[in-house]
Amino acid sequence: MTRNQGITNSILELVGETPLIKLHKITKNLPGTYYAKFEAFNPGHSAKDRIALHIVQDAEKKGILKKGATIVETTSGNTGFSLAMISIVKGYKCILAVSDKSSRDKIDLLKCMGAEVHVCPANVPPEDPRSYYEVAKTIHKKTKNSVYINQYFNELNTEAHYRTTGPEIWKQTDGKLTHMVVASGTGGTISGSGQFLKEKNPNVKVLGVDAIGSVLKKYHETRELDLSEVSPYKIEGLGKNLIPTATDFDIIDVYEKVSDKDAALEARNIVKKEGMFPGYTSGAVMQATKQYAAQGMFTEDSVVVLIFPDHGSRYMNKIYSDEWMKEQGFL
């Protein structure tokens, strides 16, 4: 993809090639150099454009997805937006099963983008027929000529980041990065870009970010699913109550868990200090970076890339609302 080279034929040509932006004030007291890969520069305003486009193009190539077909997916919102955008451009119908934890803004956006949205309860086990996984599967079974994207269990999710995000970071840092800090949900971003970067330089450290209330960190340490780790939390798109096969846990060196409050305050801190307007998980990544720094992870020679997955406009009624922050006891 090339930007700013005259006319762009379709918005989809602008997916990827996001900027790597130096952080200044917010990392002033940490050793090393810090850059944010700001995925809000994708046309759908999140990293999910990459996987949505890759999976759709793959299905088209294989002849599974034909004009007039339906795309079905489970999504916390961002993948849904990307799929809805692609569906409009390419002429597909888009049906999305969304968790009721997703912000109102995200759900409204999906409807506005022409998708059919089914809102499902967040705090039920994945195998419950009301969960967004089961609802999506049922819709897929019932809908003729439909494709289920299945991002949590689709290796193409990871492959999209192996092919795009990883090489971009390598090129943008001139191969000089030493650490990468990445939020883990499906695990596509961390595993795909992490694999590419470790193939280039095995010394690159891949540092994961998980949520308090999620099973990923414990699973990484023990390779056992410990459901006693599960508790409700507010950050959307981070952590999980199941083990996604899209995550390659061997690529990840270590995980840090962050709290809802710290992540929310750090997101607002990024706005104040750097003038960027990122989403909730970017705050989680910033907070985890500070936690890693406090453990002595970085030195003056460290070149650290933080991935900021999406844009703050999707959280106006959550972390960017003083009222919401006060209700949660965060302000």
Which residues are known catalytic residues? 48
Does residue 187 touch ligand PMP according to CB under 6 A?
A: yes
Which is it for the CA torsion 281, 189, 196, 61, positive or negative?
Answer: negative
Does residue 266 touch ligand PMP according to CB under 6 A?
A: no
Build a one-symbol-per-residue string for 234-253: x at contacts with ligand PMP by CB under 6 A, - elsewhere: --xxx---------------
Task: Name the residue nearer to ligand PMP (CB basis): 87 or 281.
Answer: 281
Q: What is the DSSP letter of 278?
A: B
CB atoms within 10 A of CB 33: 19
Strands of the chain, DSSP E: 20-22, 33-38, 70-75, 93-99, 116-120, 146-148, 179-183, 205-211, 254-258, 303-308
Q: In what order do the strands lie in the sheet with 179-183?
A: 20-22, 33-38, 303-308, 179-183, 205-211, 254-258
Task: Name the residue nearer to ligand PMP (CB basis): 21 or 69.
Answer: 21
Site for ligand PMP in 271-300 (CB under 6 A): 279, 281
Which residue is it, tokens 């308090």?
212
User: Least Å distance between CB 182 and ligand PMP?
Assistant: 7
Residue 310, SS3 per DSSP? strand
* Short-list 17, 141, 135, CA closest to 75: 135
User: Least Å distance between CB 278 and ligand PMP?
Assistant: 9
Site for ligand PMP in 68-87 (CB under 6 A): 76, 78
> Per CB under 6 A, which region of 168-176, 177-185, 219-227, 262-270 contacts ligand PMP?
177-185
Build a one-symbol-per-residue string for 218-237: x at contacts with ligand PMP by CB under 6 A, - elsewhere: ------------------xx
Distance CA 92, CA 60 (A): 11
Q: Is 327 exposed, middle or buried (0-12, 13-18, 19+ CB in 10 A)?
A: exposed
Does residue 166 touch ligand PMP according to CB under 6 A?
A: no
**Which residue in 109, 310, 320, 330 binds ligand PMP (CB under 6 A)?**
310
> Per CB under 6 A, which region of 4-12, 23-31, 183-191, 317-325 contacts ligand PMP?
183-191
Q: Which residues bind ligand PMP (CB under 6 A)?
A: 76, 78, 183-190, 236-238, 279, 281, 309-310
